[in-house]
Structure 1
Amino acid sequence: MFKFNCYSSDISDTQKALNDVSTQCQPAYKPTVILVYFDVQLNAKAIWQWLTLHFPATPFILSSSCQGSLCHNKHHDTGFATLTITTIEDDSGQYHICAGDTQNQSIYDTAQQTAKHLLTDIKSEPPELLWVTLTPGDEEAALNGIQDVIGTRVPIVGGSASDNDVTGQWQIFTHASSKPCQMAIASLTPSVPISFSFSSGYAPSGRTTEVTESSGRQVITLDGIEAARQYNHLTNGAITEQLRGGNILGQTSFHPIGREVSKDEYLLSHPERVNNDGTMTLFSQLAQGDHLHIMQGSTESLLQRAHKVIQSAQNGLTEPEISGCLLIYCAGCMLSVKPQFDQVSKNIKKHFSAIPVTGAYTFGEQGCFLDGQSRHGNLMISAVVFGV
């Protein structure tokens, strides 16, 4: 029998938060797999030790999430839990977790190696879905490494680990070691149907441009013009004060760059910084010749998108009833609407009542569009729903 549950605490003291969660999830319970999200103000090593003590035979992923995580169930409804533990009990399903560490090799090679270990553990048909937790920085290479081993038919969904202020304090662990790793990949083949959705929640503004020179995540020129200057023109002066250099994450959250990957489906890139030479750095890669849309969003659209993407995933099930949901919500979007973010939890509660929903706030999002290709983007949201 399939059971999906999530438990959370709002306490900022690590041991007290663990005690709080312990009273809810009863450590005698034996889940098949566990996913944990925590605020970096908590002690990750203490959480890891608690998990291995109480669930010694259960594989898990432990990852940081920006300024907390979301947990919705019949007992709790919070958008900023310091600790959220999600358990899946499914004796008839197949679940495996592998960790990868670079150790003087590329992210691509690490991802390949991790995916090979995962396939060795599975020893059967390819999984229905891969749930990935990656380190921010070169997620495209990680996805390429995974897909070069497992293929492109297995959808990849997940998010990049995050911290509270983009200072590099993000952390990822698995059950295999108390030392942090570069990535963790979970293969999911549940005994119940699953469905997923990947969405931007933004709309094209009608203004377009083309990448005329780029290098990885750095855009040098747009339409043959200095990238920052042209982007500023197309967004009606959104980054005027940073044209000589500076962080632009806040200024660009409502004006990201989008690539149309299929009809009405856009993969977003979040401009991060203007460099002193007028180039722009983003949180995802763009290539020369990419046709770009200047996208537009609003506080209301960001507050509405969580329950809508869950509904979109739910629509992919033959039967509408769901047991639980894993949600990835971009940290940049969350921070842009944080004063009103309780509306997100209210919307989830209104539409999904007591169904357990776990959400992480990430520094990069991975998901699969209707064309079947898994991609890395920014300012995105994804959901995986489990049927009954």
Structure 2
Amino acid sequence: MLKANVGSYTSSNAFEAGKTAGVKATEGLGKPKVAFMYSSVNYDQDELIKGAKEAMNGVPIIGNTSFTGIITPEGFITGDCFVGIMAMDDDMTVGVAGVPKMNDAVSTGSEAARRALENAGRTDSPDYFYMVAPPGEEEFYLKGITGVIGRVPFFGGSAADNSISGEWKLFTDTGSFADGVAVAFFYTGKTFANKFTGAYRETAKAGVVTKVIGNRVLAEIDGVPALEKYAQWSGKDVKDLQGMNLLGASICAPIGVKDRLGDLVAIRHPMNGNEDNTMNLGNNVAVNTAVIYMEGSADELIASTGKTLNELKEKLGTDAGAYHLVHCGGRRAGIDNRIDEAVKEIKEAAGNVPFIAEFTFGEYGYEQDGINTCGGLMLSFTGFSK
């Protein structure tokens, strides 16, 4: 039977924090197979890892820095320094590997996959996997991993800091780094489920992408400069959406791309309104695909946490042993000082099942019969059966 524990600590001493959280997370467990760890950017992450390793005695660790805090059964844990660890013990094999960026993201993803297979002592594809990368090239790291193991369901999120200034780190028990990818490959016969959603309302406002610069600069929609089209849809003045103003203005009104079966709308967060009326997005878009104007209030963002976790429980279809919850940092900013309302939603839906929630700058998940997808302003909630 799967058993999980969650430990957290808020000491400014990185080693002490990692060790204390690690002791709490492993209490009552035999030999955990993996530990998810999420922390404040203000720590020396390598010292934090050393402390956690000493407490957990060889348990593979994977995780990243989280935007402003984490949520555990104890509540919202925040402050200048915080760390949370969820350790999982079950009859399963987990191979963890982290690789700092090499020549390009695709080859780095491939190398991470090969190392994770080696660390798991397996040559076959895992049942599912977890991924963490920095914001920017998530889709290409995923492409490299998929090239090695094929199409396997995944979940995870992008490392975050508190100010979108690039202070984020991702890590395994071998150390931390700012750019690259880390994965955990899971081999188990037990049920796993992921609910991946933006939980926004789809509007009738949509257009065809007619020009993209690179992968993430949306230049034109229906032949119109993208920022102008977005301003028309939102009823705002273009000038009020320029620069980083767009980031906050679009939290409750992002755009989305629908998958080929219509089962999932992956959210694309407009990040920056450029002087030429193009706009930077948080994920890739492609020419000749449609983008949809989405809407959602702060009340809906809060309510969506409990609703999504309840939907995950239905999807899992059996008693859960643990929940891993990826919550977008942008949504967290939109909720702002009402975060305790979201905590209440999550705790009520989780019941007595251990969980840990992180706040990310990119979310990853999948829908049945679709393909693995990266998005922003989304929830990627995962359940592991007992």
Which bracket does the TM-score occupy, shorter chain normalised? over 0.9
CA distance in 2, matches of 1:252, 1:384: 26
State the Cα distance separating 1:188 from its structure 2 match: 1.5
CA distance in 2, matches of 1:41, 1:303: 27
2:35 paired with 1:34: yes
Deviations 1:51-100 (A, max 9, x none): 2222332111131010111112xxx222547211110112x201110111
Contact 1:136 1:363 in 2 (8 A): yes
Q: Cα gap change, 1:238/1:71 in structure 2, threshold over 3 Å: closer, same or farther? A: farther
Whichever residue aligns with residue 219 of structure 1, its letter is L
Q: Cα gap change, 1:13/1:56 in structure 2, threshold over 3 Å: closer, same or farther? A: closer
Contact 1:99 1:181 in 2 (8 A): no
Question: 1:365 — aligned with what?
Answer: 363
Contact 2:113 2:145 in 1 (8 A): yes
Question: 1:21 — aligned with what?
Answer: 21
RMSD: 2.1
Instruction: Among all aligned residue pairs of Structure 1 and Structure 2, give the percentage whose two residues are the same amino acid.
Output: 26
State the Cα distance separating 1:27 from its structure 2 match: 6.9
Q: Cα gap change, 1:94/1:372 in structure 2, threshold over 3 Å: closer, same or farther? A: farther
* Mapping of residues 37-48 of structure 1, within 5 Å: 37-48=38-49
Candidates 339, 342, 345, aligned match of 2:343: 345
* Mapping of residues 48-197 of structure 1, within 5 Å: 48-72=49-73, 76-78=74-76, 80=78, 82-90=82-90, 92-103=91-102, 105-122=103-120, 123-152=122-151, 154-177=152-175, 182-190=180-188, 192-197=190-195
Query: What runs of 5+ residues in structure 1 fail to find an aligned partner?
Result: none
Whichever residue aligns with residue 346 of structure 1, its letter is K
State the Cα distance separating 1:246 from its structure 2 match: 4.2
* Mapping of residues 157-306 of structure 1, within 5 Å: 157-177=155-175, 182-190=180-188, 192-215=190-213, 216-237=215-236, 240-243=239-242, 245-261=243-259, 262-263=261-262, 265-306=264-305
3-state SS of the aligned residue for 2:308?
Answer: helix
Q: Cα gap change, 1:177/1:301 in structure 2, threshold over 3 Å: closer, same or farther? A: same
3-state SS of the aligned residue for 1:372?
Answer: coil
Q: Cα gap change, 1:387/1:222 in structure 2, threshold over 3 Å: closer, same or farther? A: same
CA distance in 1, matches of 2:108, 2:19: 36
Please say which of residues 341-350 and 12-21 is displaced more in the overlay: 12-21
Contact 1:196 1:313 in 2 (8 A): yes
CA distance in 2, matches of 1:246, 1:340: 23
Contact 1:143 1:375 in 2 (8 A): no
Whichever residue aligns with residue 194 of structure 1, its letter is F
Whichever residue aligns with residue 47 of structure 2, its letter is A
Q: Cα gap change, 1:274/1:116 in structure 2, threshold over 3 Å: closer, same or farther? A: same
Candidates 374, 379, 382, aligned match of 1:381: 379
Whichever residue aligns with residue 5 of structure 1, its letter is N
Question: 2:3 — aligned with what?
Answer: 3
Query: What runs of 5+ residues in structure 2 fail to find an aligned partner?
Result: none
CA distance in 1, matches of 2:224, 2:176: 49
CA distance in 1, matches of 2:126, 2:237: 44
3-state SS of the aligned residue for 2:320?
Answer: coil
User: TM-score, normalization: structure 2?
Assistant: 0.92
Please say which of residues 369-378 and 267-276 is displaced more in the overlay: 369-378
Deviations 1:181-223 (A, max 9, x none): 6111001224532211111110112211111111210111111
Contact 1:271 1:283 in 2 (8 A): yes
Deviations 1:165-184 (A, max 9, x none): 00000001111235556111
3-state SS of the aligned residue for 1:316?
Answer: helix
3-state SS of the aligned residue for 1:323?
Answer: strand
State the Cα distance separating 1:307 from its structure 2 match: 2.1
Candidates 325, 338, 356, aligned match of 1:327: 325
